[in-house]
Amino acid sequence: MSGGFGAAGVWCERVVYRSVRAEEVASWSAWAVADPVRAVRAIRADARRLVGGVAGGRARWRALRRVAGDGGGQVGAVAALYRGESCGLALDCGGVWVEWSARPVLFLPVVSRTGPRCVGAGERAPAASTFCR
């Protein structure tokens, strides 16, 4: 993962649906991390936290089993991200459907710190003659 003009990283998302039919979104969250290993670890830790809140039974046991062992999933996910491919995880967590995804991205700088400054709230714009020097 080379950065070049921007900073290379991984964009991660979690979507929680109100039912296993995934018809209505209950919540959405996103975060950015610096590399594929951190992305997969963050998703796995988030999945463990979420599954830990599911009332016992078979659904909890199945979900915990999916995120507890590797079985090639974690290694495969890291490898996919390094190849520039997306990866994801989907779980039935006690009647709600949860999907995690991660994709490699290039974070571009938004503004130059040495460039022109925007006028903030409550500030007056400089005289027109100072714009084009």
Q: What does the pLDDT average to over 45-67?
A: 73
Q: Residue 10 is which amino acid?
A: V
What are 14-50's pLDDT values in tens digits?
999 988 887 899 999 999 999 999 999 999 889 888 8
Query: What does the pLDDT read at residue 16?
Result: 92
In this prediction, residue 111 carries a pLDDT of 65
The sheet carrying 25-33 orders its strands as: 25-33, 7-17, 96-107, 87-93
Q: Which residues of 71-97 are buried (b: 16+ CB within 10 A; e: fewer)?
A: eeebeebbebbeeeeebebebebbebb
Kind and range of the H or E run holding 31: strand 25-33
Q: Classify residue 71 by its DSSP letter.
A: T
Q: Which of 26-30, 57-61, 118-122 ranks highest by mean pLDDT? A: 26-30
- Residue entry with tokens 């919540």: 27
Q: Please indicate, yes or no, whether the overall pTM of this predicted structure exceeds 0.75.
A: no
Q: Helix, strand, or coil here: 30?
A: strand
Residue type, 96: V
Element (H, E) at 68: helix 58-68
